[in-house]
Amino acid sequence: MKVHKMTLSEVIPVEFHWLGKIKLGVKTYLESKILKWDSRVQGIIKNFCKIRLVGKKARILEDAGIVLIPARYTLNLYTPKIGDTLEGIVKNWSDSEIGVLVDCFNAIVFPNTCKYTQESWSDANNVEVKRDCKVSFVLER
Distance CA 97, CA 99 (A): 7
pLDDT, mean of residues 102-112: 81
Answering whether pTM is above 0.85, one says: no
**For residue 29, what pLDDT is reported?**
95
CATH class of 85-138: mainly beta
**CATH among 3.90.1150.10, 3.40.718.10, 3.40.50.300, 3.30.1490.120 for 3-78:** 3.30.1490.120
Residue range 29-67, pLDDT digits in tens: 999 999 888 899 988 899 999 999 998 888 888 888 899
Q: Show me where the domains of the chain are located.
A: 3-78, 85-138
